[in-house]
A and B are shown apart, each in its own frame.
Chain A
Amino acid sequence: MDIVYFFYLVYRRVRIKNSSSRNYKGFMNKMVLMDKVVSGDATLLMAEMLKIFVQEAAVRSQKQAEAEDCDQVDIEHFEKILPQLLLDF
């Protein structure tokens, strides 16, 4: 589970990428992940993929709530879309 240190730096990329993508050049290009090194490109792509994961989960839950005619997106809507979401990723 030490692998998860990776996400901290992924998160920083997501936050800064949203504010301005011209900061790209200032970043360190590699990060240490135990004995593995992750390239800058791979980090950005992973950040993008995780962002899509969250967006898919949110949009699918919202569509499920819409189909059931509810005002708020509840945990039951998320539970219903979760299996297909995990299979798609």
Chain B
Amino acid sequence: MSDDTDETHQRLKAAVHYTVGRLCQKIGEDHRREFSRQVIAAIAETTFRQCDVFAKDLEAFARHAKRSTVNAEDVKLVARRSTALSIYIQNKSEELTQEQRDLKKKGTGKRKSRDTEEDRRE
């Protein structure tokens, strides 16, 4: 059983390392300064540990609200430390709810337009 979790850990760390490497490469290209391998590994390790901290916080917040589902509200709480960050996360969350509403409208709207198209053909 512990082998499975170890393997998952390894895969997760590799995934984080790969994504961090890509993001750092992009930023390095923008500013024409390369990141050494050590720095990429360090950022990946830090992100991995910080993710663990976030996940524990999210779980604690959801448990405090007597919910078994982690919400967007919990994520907004985790982002409360820096004002700019919390504003950014709030805007993103509003964007997401707006997208969901648009997708729902599109779902019903498509049916209507298909019906009118068929009527026109007939």
Contacts and interface: CB of A to CB of B under 8 A. Distances in A.
Interface of A: 1-8, 10-11, 14-15, 24-25, 30, 33, 35-39, 41-42, 44-46, 48-55, 57-59, 61-62, 65-66, 70-75, 77-78, 82, 86-89
Majority SS of interface residues in chain A?
Answer: helix
B87 interface: no
In the A-B complex, the 9 residue pairs with the closest CB atoms = A3-B55, A45-B75, A41-B72, A38-B70, A11-B15, A75-B38, A58-B27, A73-B35, A37-B69
A71 B68 CA distance: 49
A85 B46 CA distance: 10
A39 B27 CA distance: 31
Contact of A45 (B8, B33, B35, B89): B89
Interface residues of B, number: 55
B79 A37 contact: no
B9 interface: yes
B9 A1 contact: yes
A49 B24 CA distance: 16
B9 A4 contact: yes
